Amino acid sequence: MAFTVRRPQLTLAEKFFLPAILAGLLITWKHFKNSLFGKTRVTMQYPEERWDSQLPSYYRGAPTLVMDEWGKERCVACQLCEFICPPQAIVIQPEEIPNDDPWAKVEKRPKEFNIDMIRCIYCGLCEEVCPEQAIFLRKDYSITGYSRDEMIHNKKKLYELGGVMKGLIFKWNEKK
């Protein structure tokens, strides 16, 4: 059974959209008045003012590699972060640790570790999957470069950005 829905009869003002236009102008006038008398701030002066103090604790920024307090790499080149990365922004080339090295029990370390920051979607999966707590997300939202090559962070740059992280490090733990 079909129902007929009748269109409402519009007044002349409604046909010319006058109530909608006046409502929009009223909102614009309120914003203008508030900004004119300094009740609201409209623009943040970006290079001088930053959002760092307002970032939430769960903010996911740029991924970086960290070292332990003795200057050793935490990454064991397990490549889990490379496999889990949805846009495939991480590329790891592992190498074996020589037998004469005191930390040879780890077997591997990254020879090359590159993250393409143009491809990275800042999902945080690499940080979650890392068994050695070697990769962390910084609270950084201003990642720029003049070329595509500058946006590919190599192992050296990732360690510079990540710094040192103290705490339990699984790959150096003798109980493991």
Q: Where are the domains of the chain?
A: 57-172
Model pLDDT for residues 126-148, shown as the tens digit of each residue: 999 998 889 999 888 888 899 99
Q: Using CA atoms, how far apart are residues 162 and 136, in angstroms rounded to an integer?
A: 7
HSE-CB for 102 with a 13 A CA cutoff: 3
- The answer to whether the CB of 65 falls within 8 A of the CB of 141 is no
Q: What does pTM read for this prediction?
A: 0.69
The topology under which CATH files domain 57-172 is Alpha-Beta Plaits (3.30.70)
Tokens found for residue 22: 């006046």
Q: What is the pLDDT of residues 1-13, one digit of tens each?
A: 789 999 999 988 8
What is the Cα–Cα distance from 95 to 162, expressed in whole angstroms? 21
Give the tokens for residue 129.
């999957």
How are beta strands 108-116 and 90-96 bridged, if at all? antiparallel
